[in-house]
Amino acid sequence: MIDESLNLEIWDRLLAHKPLDGLALETKDGRIDIRGLELPEPSVLRQFQFHGVAIAEVDSGIFHGVKWRNLDFSESKLAGLRLMLGLVENCRLDSCDLQGVRFWVTSFRDVSFKGANLRSSVLGGTHEGVRNTFFEVDFSKANLSGTTYEAAAFERCTFSNAKLTKIDFQSSTFKDCRFEGELNDVLFYRHGFKGKKYPPNEMVNVDFTGAKLRGVGFRNLVLDRVHFPNDDEHIVIRDFPRSMDQVIEVLNQLNDATAKKLIALIQIDREWRPPNQAQGVINLSEMAEVVGAEGVKRFLAAIPAK
């Protein structure tokens, strides 16, 4: 149990880059056990009046250059944490409250965020064109809804049953990553908005085979090294742009309400499909919500034979 005095002493040392030796702390799985730590409130630098309104100037609370290794922060209350130019390595932040955190130019290596609440956090903050990096990071069952990105690098990361809703990854890159569970209203790009200064997202060996894709967009991505779900709910279509053009030709000949709905649905995000896109995926259940079972049947019949 970490009392208030110990809590403050731990933070003083963490921010001053001092070891936690000599404190009444145990180890757990080779990491110093600081579970249940609480982030102190920002300090007030000064208070003054402006046109009769009381104003407090508060410390920004951005922690620069921290190097946190071999620490277990699990179940800690760290909402609002701000790190810049830092390193977090071999640490556990499982089941932590991390709502509204902000990270810039920080490297996370062998870190677990299992079950953590990262809702509305900035995980893709940048500084002078440099990104955050996440290497061998486990986001299983973490709440990532509404997280914000300009750019970040994800390599060998796991997103198993993470809550991924309303996320625009912009210029983030993914390599050797695995997604499982539902993704809802999520966007992946080769380059995000004004993101040409960052490396292109090639989506190298990204595994969605255990995922459920709803409202997921892949913009200007070739997708030749992506593994999509191919089950009763999803269908993977090779040579996606050409195949969709052929489907539209068939549907144009039918010229009825269902065909027109299907064409409108297929045309969504058409401008984002590169001509060499190797494959694409369609969620048939999602399509049925718009055009019904008969519309899905027509769509499947119009797909050109392999």
pLDDT block averages, 10 residues each, the chain of length 306: 90 92 93 95 46 41 90 96 96 97 97 98 95 98 97 98 97 98 97 92 98 96 96 95 94 90 92 94 95 94 86
CATH of the domain at 100: 2.160.20
Q: Please tell me the predicted confidence (pLDDT) of residue 32.
A: 97
Residues 161 and 77 in one domain: yes
Query: Rounded to 5 degrees, what angle do the CA atoms 245, 293, 235 make?
Result: 50
> Which of 185, 149, 150, 178 is closest to 164 using CA atoms?
185
Residues 110 and 133 in one domain: yes
Last-in-domain residue among 212, 229, 246: 229
Q: Please tell me the predicted confidence (pLDDT) of residue 306.
A: 67
> Which of 143, 197, 152, 154 is closest to 170 using CA atoms?
152
* CA separation for the pair 21, 32 (Å, rounded): 10
Q: Which amino acid is at 18?
A: K
Last-in-domain residue among 229, 248, 278: 229
Tokens of 193: 């908005």
Q: Please tell me the predicted confidence (pLDDT) of residue 57.
A: 32
* CA separation for the pair 89, 105 (Å, rounded): 14
Residues 143 and 241 in one domain: no
Q: Please tell me the predicted confidence (pLDDT) of residue 101.
A: 95
Q: Please tell me the predicted confidence (pLDDT) of residue 305.
A: 79
Residues 263 and 166 in one domain: no
Q: Which helix (H) or strand (E) holds 299?
A: helix 284-302
Positive or negative CA dihedral for 228, 233, 238, 243?
negative
* CA separation for the pair 93, 305 (Å, rounded): 49
Residues 162 and 256 in one domain: no
* CA separation for the pair 146, 166 (Å, rounded): 6
Residues 277 and 222 in one domain: no
> Which of 204, 145, 200 is closest to 170 using CA atoms?
200
Q: Please tell me the predicted confidence (pLDDT) of residue 169.
A: 98
Q: Please tell me the predicted confidence (pLDDT) of residue 131.
A: 96
How many structural domains are present in the chain?
A: 2
Residues 160 and 298 in one domain: no
* CA separation for the pair 96, 117 (Å, rounded): 6
Last-in-domain residue among 229, 258, 292: 229
Domain enclosing residue 107, as ranges: 4-229
Residues 151 and 296 in one domain: no
Q: Please tell me the predicted confidence (pLDDT) of residue 52.
A: 54
Residues 32 and 154 in one domain: yes
Residues 220 and 236 in one domain: no
Determine if residue 65 is left, alpha or beta; phi over 0 gives left, psi from -120 to 50 gives alpha, anything else beta: left
**Residue 49 burial (10 A CB sphere; 0-12, 13-18, 19+):** exposed
Residues 190 and 260 in one domain: no
DSSP assignment letter at 215: E
Provide the 10 A C-beta neighbour count for residue 267.
11
Strands 31-33 and 27-28: antiparallel
Q: Which amino acid is at 56?
A: A
Quick check: helix, strand or coil at residue 271? helix
Q: Are 212 and 182 in contact (CB under 8 A)?
A: yes
Residues 91 and 170 in one domain: yes
